[in-house]
Structure 1
């Protein structure tokens, strides 16, 4: 029987690599309607094969996984920072996430030539990072109210994995969303999603975890987020995947944050396997990589890394790095004598 620590590590890795797997599976189908997917994959796409609109190589990260990596690296930086003796001020994890995201935007990123920008970027993310490049203030650079895409929900999960208290998780979730997506539908969706993930890590059953999400949305006075969660409880995911989403979830799933949250809740509450549920999430069509990433994070936190098919895991661009970073953050948090990582020293000019 796994210990509590082993179970938590499995769920932590499952959450991170669930995002990556959902992203890489869905990348092939991005912008396709349900009818188009049904024509080519009548039983759903079950392998990570790459291709798609941007001709991805199999398992390559899109912006969903890349920006999750940016947030993960910020938490890795924070864990290293806490190793310093008598730090002069609190670590600003939102600023660090914005810095790493700007590196991604400006072309300092694995898998790309130096200076080459990303192939795929959402409009709110582009606006936020362009403004951040000038202000360097993560609290004043979001795309503004009215821009409610899912581009911060797709990257937010490291907060749930590496921040201990609910109050701090909610604060950090909102701040990390806001440097690109500061519409309250986005910031509160991120906070709600991360509380659901944190509950799953603590061993709560999916329904209980979702109830906590409803509680958070209500506490943040966002009835629209609460309604999105309630819709997810009733969404017939397998029916929509096999018969089409009709008018309730339009074929061109637009990337609206509350729609993606609804789909992710439906996925979490579906008792089938990680693979079967995620295949159906991407069968619906539209913003398949991001819906896959958001749902994959919840499913990975529910089921652990062992539930992700090995044939998927072995193709993921950042599998080894995500595992190393996550274990390092958890180790640094529990081992005050451990030294600073070489990557942190290099980034911050520490000899």
Structure 2
């Protein structure tokens, strides 16, 4: 299960990202008219006219963190930051050298530019009050690569803070990765969610713990049918805690990966990132084999992520500990 779960986590992010890219920024009501049954295949398009299966910033930055774990230097956080800068400055697959990404979040751009100026990845965040989901979307490689809990929590927060150093973001990443690590170790979704909530509480971030608890009461199918409504005052439009809540609701949904991810995307607004964040947990829960093969065949980094999963599983065949 560990190898399949690791591959599921990576491919789950990628597939959720690529599925949601087609309707990024569209409101629930718009998606309902255009896709009454939801986006059910990876077809590309969207506001940036993505080729089908092409990585957006969600998958690209997940890859940047993953590369740090596959080829760590003396300072893993710095290595991750350097790969993010490569992405930002155009040294990246699928782009001409020097060509900037089509889509970059404001906090991500701010943090990476600051890192380039200061050379310190631990003093490069966008600052308090910037609580977007741009670090949560890329954090899962830490859960898949690190078996020691204390190190996993620390690195989750430090890698978040390269760009997103608001406590809501750093603790959300740590809590999400404890959910992911628990799933990878064989915990039930309900127990894994409890692990994430307890992590947030132990880090003295009750607002993050509350966001996780809120996910227990939500049903993606209901949100997809009725809209985000009062459940998400921001319309699931990029606030880190709304994305975390939606991912918790998704992983607690007993339906298989594709059904849940399709409904997560139907909620609207930040559809690629919400799909990626929820897709990572669902992919670990269900394994890579649960992701439709027709989707995987289109993913830009499918082969690379599958090979990376093999490498990570070989390094830690017993899987992570989470207690």
Q: What is the TM-score of this pair, normalised by structure 1?
A: 0.89
1:251/1:286 contact within 8 Å kept: no
**Residue 31, structure 1, aligned to residue 25, structure 2:** yes
Matched with 1:296 is: 279
**Residue 179, structure 1, aligned to residue 173, structure 2:** no
2:19/2:272 contact within 8 Å kept: yes
Structure 1 CA distance for aligned equivalents of residues 161 and 173 of structure 2: 10
Per-residue deviation at 1:324?
1.5
| Aligned residue among 16, 22, 30 for 2:10 | 16
1:34/1:251 contact within 8 Å kept: no
Matched with 2:221 is: 238
Matched with 1:229 is: 212
Per-residue CA distance 1:51-106 (angstroms, 9 max, x = gap): 0000000000000000000000000012xx6xxxxxxxxx3111111000000000
1:251/1:284 contact within 8 Å kept: no
Q: Where in structure 2 are there 5+ consecutive unaligned residues?
A: 318-323
Matched with 1:74 is: 68
Per-residue deviation at 1:249?
2.0
2:228/2:236 contact within 8 Å kept: no
Q: How does 1:1-351 map to 2 (within 5 A)?
A: 7-78=1-72, 91-250=74-233, 252-331=235-314
Structure 1 CA distance for aligned equivalents of residues 233 and 208 of structure 2: 19
Of the structure 1 ranges 323-332 and 261-270, higher mean CA displacement relative to structure 2 is found in 323-332
Structure 2 CA distance for aligned equivalents of residues 333 and 264 of structure 1: 26
1:108/1:115 contact within 8 Å kept: yes
Per-residue deviation at 1:236?
2.4
Per-residue CA distance 1:255-279 (angstroms, 9 max, x = gap): 0000000000000000001010000
Per-residue deviation at 1:329?
3.6
Per-residue CA distance 1:173-223 (angstroms, 9 max, x = gap): 000000100000000000000000000010000000001111101100000
1:31/1:288 contact within 8 Å kept: yes
Q: What is the TM-score of this pair, normalised by structure 2?
A: 0.96
Alignment length (residue pairs): 317
Structure 1 CA distance for aligned equivalents of residues 228 and 261 of structure 2: 16
Structure 2 CA distance for aligned equivalents of residues 333 and 293 of structure 1: 24
RMSD, aligned α-carbons: 1.1
Per-residue CA distance 1:100-156 (angstroms, 9 max, x = gap): 000000000000000000000100000000011111211001000000000000000
Of the structure 1 ranges 132-141 and 278-287, higher mean CA displacement relative to structure 2 is found in 132-141
Structure 2 CA distance for aligned equivalents of residues 195 and 188 of structure 1: 11
1:148/1:186 contact within 8 Å kept: yes
Structure 2 CA distance for aligned equivalents of residues 251 and 245 of structure 1: 9
Matched with 1:88 is: none
Q: Where in structure 1 are there 5+ consecutive unaligned residues?
A: 1-6, 82-90, 335-351
Structure 2 CA distance for aligned equivalents of residues 224 and 145 of structure 1: 15
Structure 1 CA distance for aligned equivalents of residues 119 and 45 of structure 2: 35
Structure 1 CA distance for aligned equivalents of residues 113 and 200 of structure 2: 30
SS of 1:53 mapped into structure 2:
coil
1:251/1:285 contact within 8 Å kept: no
SS of 2:99 mapped into structure 1:
coil
